[in-house]
Chain A
């Protein structure tokens, strides 16, 4: 395993190498495997919610279709675009670290956080809108504004609450992950600004990037599930 001479690794990386690793390569591989495993646990975490959503959607297709029309397609689309941009800036920031452009790295990280905060702001606006329209289950829930638009379709308004319960659970947990991600990038940006990350060592940046991409991918699934299915005019 340790085929690299130990002296070389000590000379090159003695600052970041922790005592229990043989060399930087082992340390980097361990950190990266750890992050991938953590993301696997996250898939299971969101998986429970996706599973519940799919089952209820299958049971109550009309209720879910009508309820999902309460969500604003333009806002959702814009937010998706914002998030994809943030993934791009993260990917570019890793590249900037690899080629040693410190200034570019910091700018890209700041942009990432800006996109992230934009997403959260827009999401907060959406939630507030839903609150005002009484679409939050448990808080004077009332869906009559939507059902009135489709008098020809028989639905049970009670079941539309399930859509919103899962909508808030899923987007809420996703937003929580975004907040954690932005918090993470505060530290990463600070250390990047101090010049900790360069071509030799940028594992924390890379792993935070992985986490950020994962959070994006969750949204890439949430967006069609919540916003896009059955958007065509109901008969």
Chain B
């Protein structure tokens, strides 16, 4: 490797400062912890994906031939729990947020580095518990643990899975706590609230939800475990308990949890769109406060998951109305991104392709969310594939696309190497096509009345199901590709300079990969966020990219 391309290869950075397994497992460097998270959640992403492929394979034919109903119940339950609690919730905050929040605000580390490491270990412990529960046979309650099935009737490993998610919740809480304190207390001189990158605003909003929502899930799961293990009967209708109370408590967290997954993704999109359009974001303040508004409104809409569960008509009406209101800040974001691109000088690099995919798919997911917020339509499509398609458009089409956009965008900073652009664009295209082929037919299936969570279906639904299964294999290729070429690029990729995209933001003012303390000296900020007009103005002779 001692070639002419590695003149400055010996410069000390966070990756080569120390070597050995101990230096990683006992690190308090936020950048190294981010990579620990990356490894751990990627592992779970592929486990969850494997479950998804088994589900799609079973649904290739109308009859239950690959697996029977009990196994199928476990497949979709484990798919949901793994993907939500072990991939989506930690994905962007714990990997990209961990890496970037201190760097973007000009800090040396998160406020509590040891708590940061602790929260990774909590996720590891909970992940191991979950893997163990899976090996024993898993859980068949769906990811939602609905009572009284989970407390009294299910013959699967509800207690272990519940404890596992309880612990994962504390990992999430501690990450959120670390972010809020860091953003409040650790900003560099001159980094005012109005100059924060919108990625930071999005993570701030996310952290608020993690802080205020997750404890409620924790205590709810604890009551489920108590009900099941000690026969306490808190949600047992035969003893006066109320299963609906469980649903209220569960969705009080689990609806805002959707915004834990999507808000950080929106934060990534802001950075990518502005950079590859070479423009300041349109309406900075609106986009920033839209994140906060989504976090706040997100706490007031949970009962739209319970329209057919027997809540009163009046509360259903109010929750329906409130659910519509979330569309306002979401639409502000989509319109502002579009307006940011308007008359920009756009480069179609991989991160932007993912970001454009995000905008389109999130818009579809959001619009179908309005269908579901509408009482009349929701009653018709509750528990059908329409709902499945809707939330996969948000969580996969939205959150995962944003995650991949971010991983590609900051990969030069994280690894010090460029990913191969051609392969990147190809993978982005494959993901987009595979995703739509998988999930668009599910909208139609749901509208025609195919219920979710069944291992068999009437033969007239087969064509659409075959399309969906075919799409899922394409999607799988699209997800495996980045893993291969990103790993490849860590060794063979082109060496990245400190700012390969000529992007705004403090993280691009330091070396790639950054030194352990992030900056040689604490930066002093004198410019506004996304000052692309200033970045581009004096040096038009510099040519970047193709």
Contacts and interface: CB of A to CB of B under 8 A. Distances in A.
Interface of B is mostly: helix
A42 B239 contact: no
B213 interface: yes
Contact of A40 (B212, B220, B230, B232): B212
B211 A41 contact: yes
19 contacts: A1-B188, A19-B517, A20-B111, A20-B517, A21-B186, A34-B112, A37-B180, A45-B219, A46-B219, A47-B215, A48-B216, A48-B223, A51-B249, A52-B223, A63-B240, A137-B231, A159-B240, A169-B223, A169-B234
A19 B108 contact: yes
Contacts of A49: 219, 223
B184 interface: yes
A55 B111 contact: no
Interface in A153-197: 156, 158-159, 161-162, 165-166, 168-169, 173
A52 B215 contact: no
A26 interface: yes
A19 B186 CA distance: 12
A41 B234 contact: no
B360 interface: no
Interface string B179-197: 0111011111100000000
Nearest to A25: B185
A29 interface: yes
Nearest to B102: A20
Given A41-B177, A41-B212, A156-B240, A169 B226 contact: yes
Interface string B212-229: 111110111011001000
B215 A48 contact: yes
Nearest to B210: A41
A47 B216 CA distance: 7
Contacts of A56: 240-242
Given A30-B186, A41-B173, 18 more contacts: A19-B517, A30-B112, A34-B178, A34-B181, A38-B177, A40-B212, A41-B212, A44-B212, A44-B216, A48-B223, A52-B245, A56-B242, A161-B240, A162-B233, A162-B239, A162-B240, A165-B232, A165-B234
Contacts of A158: 238-240
Contacts of A34: 111-112, 115, 177-178, 181
Nearest to A36: B181
Nearest to A50: B219
Nearest to A162: B240
A29 B212 CA distance: 21
Most chain A CB inside 10 Å of its own CB: which residue of B220, B238, B241: B241
Contact of A33 (B109, B115, B185): B185
Given A137-B233, A159-B239, A169-B232, A20 B215 contact: no
B113 interface: yes
Contact of A37 (B109, B181, B213, B216): B181
Contacts of A131: none
A30 B102 CA distance: 14
B232 A20 contact: no
A49 B232 CA distance: 14
A33 B211 CA distance: 13
B263 to A, nearest CB: 18
B504 interface: no
A2 interface: yes
Interface residues of B, number: 46
B130 interface: no
Contacts of B387: none
B374 interface: no
B311 to A, nearest CB: 13
A1 B213 CA distance: 32
A19 B114 CA distance: 13
B373 to A, nearest CB: 24
Contact of B219 (A22, A29, A30, A48): A48
A20 B233 contact: no
B163 to A, nearest CB: 15
3 closest pairs, A vs B, by CB? A138-B231, A45-B215, A20-B109
Contact of B241 (A26, A47, A48, A162): A162
A156 B241 CA distance: 13
B407 interface: no
Most chain B CB inside 10 Å of its own CB: which residue of A56, A159, A161: A161
B177 A45 contact: no
Contacts of A1: 187-189
A22 B109 CA distance: 11
B240 A59 contact: yes
Interface string A1-33: 110000000000000001111100010011001
B211 A60 contact: no
Contacts of B231: 137-138
B107 interface: yes
B211 A30 contact: no
Interface in B72-121: 107-109, 111-113, 115
A65 to B, nearest CB: 15
A166 B234 contact: yes
A46 to B, nearest CB: 7
A143 to B, nearest CB: 12
A166 B184 CA distance: 37
Contacts of A169: 222-223, 226, 232, 234
A20 B240 CA distance: 54
Contact of B185 (A18, A30, A51): A30
A37 B181 CA distance: 8
B253 to A, nearest CB: 9
Contacts of A26: 185-186
Contacts of A40: 211-212
Interface in B243-279: 245, 249, 252
Nearest to A165: B232
B216 A165 contact: no
Interface in B142-201: 173, 177-178, 180-182, 184-189
